């Protein structure tokens, strides 16, 4: 079975038992390998769910949980090369 790399955008949300808690949101980009977009979505959803955690914060116990998988897109392979301009740019900054 041929696999491809996908970029998945997931959103986590915070919740608390406190009535004055303002939810916070965090977006995360995940790279997953899958044989189809559907499998990539399922993998991103499982991984996002595994990130669920409870922490003690200003609002008491705060739970971070998966809100949604917003987007899953294939990553187009591109040749990886060391940028030549970086070294020249840094050298000109040092002068």
Residue-wise pLDDT for 55-76, tens only, equals 887 768 999 999 999 999 999 8
- Listed residue (53, 69, 41, 72) closest to 15, CA to CA: 53
Give the bridge partners for 56, in sequence order.
Answer: 61
Better-scored residue on pLDDT, 12 or 83 = 12
pLDDT at 87: 44
Q: Are 76 and 11 in contact (CB under 8 A)?
A: no
How buried is 47 (Cβ within 10 angstroms: 0-12 exposed, 13-18 middle, 19+ buried)? middle
Whole-prediction pTM value? 0.72
- Please state the separation of Cα 13 from the chain's center in Å: 13
């Amino acid at each position: 079975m041929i696999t491809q790399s996908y970029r998945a955008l997931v959103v986590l949300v915070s919740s608390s038992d406190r009535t004055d808690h303002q939810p916070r949101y965090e977006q995360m980009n995940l790279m997953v390998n899958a044989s189809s977009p559907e499998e990539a979505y399922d993998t991103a959803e499982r991984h996002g769910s595994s990130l669920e955690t409870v922490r003690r914060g200003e609002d008491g116990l705060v739970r971070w949980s998966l809100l949604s998988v917003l987007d899953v897109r294939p990553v187009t392979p591109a040749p990886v090369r060391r940028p030549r301009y970086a070294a020249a740019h840094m050298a000109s900054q040092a002068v």
